[in-house]
Amino acid sequence: MTENRPFSNAKLGVLILLGAETMLFVGLIGAFLVFRMGNVTWPPLSHVDIRLPNLLTGFNTLGLIISGFTMFLALRAVQQDRIKQLRILLMITGVLGLLFLVVQGREWVQLIGKGLTLQSGIYGGIFYVLIGCHAVHVLGAVIWLAIIIGMAVTGKFSSVRYTGVETCTIYWIYVVALWPILYVLVYLA
C-alpha cells in the first residue's frame, strides 16, 4: 500500500462490476442472436406489420450520447474545481437520462397498443427483456446520479474529493455506450 495504485478501490470496484454487467448483456444478446438467426424472417411472419420506431429512437440515442458527453464534462469540471459547472452539467445529464426513459416509455406504450407484447412470441419477448434490461440500468444510473447531484448541491465534492462523481461517470458512460450496440442490433439490423 506504500506503492501508488493506479485505481482507487471504489473506481476499481465499479470497473470490475462492469465486467459482470457485460456478461449479463452477453447472455441476453446471445439469446437475441440465437432467435434472430433461428428465424428465416425477422421480425417473424407473425409480426410483419410491426415497425419499431427507428427514427424516434435514433433521436433518443443521440440524446443519450450527449448525456454521456455532459457527464464526462461534469467529471472534468469537478477535477478542475468548477463546482457550479459541475452541478449544472450533472443536472443536464440527469434530465437527458430521464428524457431517454420517458421517450422509451412512450414508445413501449405505443408498441403495446399495436399488439407487440411480452407474450407475442419471442420477437416481443426478447425486445422487451433486452431493451428493458438496459432501461433498468439507465434507471439505476439516473437514481445514482440523483444521489450524486444531491451531494454536489450540498457541497460534498471538490477537486480533491470527487470519487463519487468519478464512479458514477464510469457507470453512466458504460450504460450510454451500451445503448448504440443494442440500437443497431435490435432496431436497425
Partner 1 sequence: MQENENMSHEHDNDEHHDHAHDDNDTIEHTHEHDDDEHHAHAHHEEGFIRKYIFSLDHKMIGKQFLIYGLIMLFVGGGLALLFRWQLAYPETPELEGGKPAKAAKPLPIIGPSQKYIDDGEVVTRADKMWERIFDSDKAEFLEVNMPSGFIEPHFYNMLFTMHATIMVFFVVVPILVGAFGNFLIPLMIGTRDMAFPVLNMLSFWLAVLAAVVMAAGFFVPGGHASAGWTGYAPLSVDPQWTGVNWGLNLWAISLLIQGFSSLVGSINYITTIINMRAPGMTWLRLPLVIWSLFIVAILLLLAFPVLSSALALLIFDRLAGTTFFTSTAEGGGSALLWQHLFWFFGHPEVYILILPGMGIASELVAVFSRKPIFGYRSMVYAMIAIAFLGWVVWGHHMFQSGMRPGMGAFFMTTTMLIAVPSAIKTFNWLGTMFRGSIRFTTPMLHAIAFVSMFVIGGLSGIYMANTPVDVYIHDTYYIVAHIHYVVFGGSLFAIFGGIIFWFPKMYGRYMNDTLSKIHFWLTFIAFNCTFFPMHILGVGGHMRRISNPMQYEYLQTFEGMNLFITMSAFTLGFVQLILVFNFVWSIYRGKVAEKNPWNVNTLEWEAPTPVPHGNFAQIPNVYRGPYEYSVPGEESDFIPQAQPEHAPASAGD
Q: Which residues bind partner 1 (CB under 8 A)?
A: 1-3, 5, 7-9, 12-13, 16-17, 19-21, 23-28, 30-31, 34-35, 38-39, 44-47, 118-123, 125-126, 129, 133
Closer CB to partner 1, residue 79 or residue 120? 120
Closer CB to partner 1, residue 43 or residue 68? 43
Closer CB to partner 1, residue 43 or residue 94? 43
Question: In angstroms, what is the minimal distance from the CB of 66 to partner 1?
Answer: 29
Three cell numbers written together for 22:
457485460
Closer CB to partner 1, residue 28 or residue 89? 28
Question: In angstroms, what is the minimal distance from the CB of 37 to partner 1?
Answer: 10
Question: In angstroms, what is the minimal distance from the CB of 35 to partner 1?
Answer: 7
Contacts 24+ apart (CB under 8 A), 119-128: 120/46, 120/47, 121/44, 121/46, 121/47, 122/35, 122/44, 123/35, 123/42, 123/43, 123/44, 123/46, 123/47, 123/50, 124/47, 126/28, 126/31, 126/32, 126/35, 127/52, 127/186
Three cell numbers written together for 162:
470527487
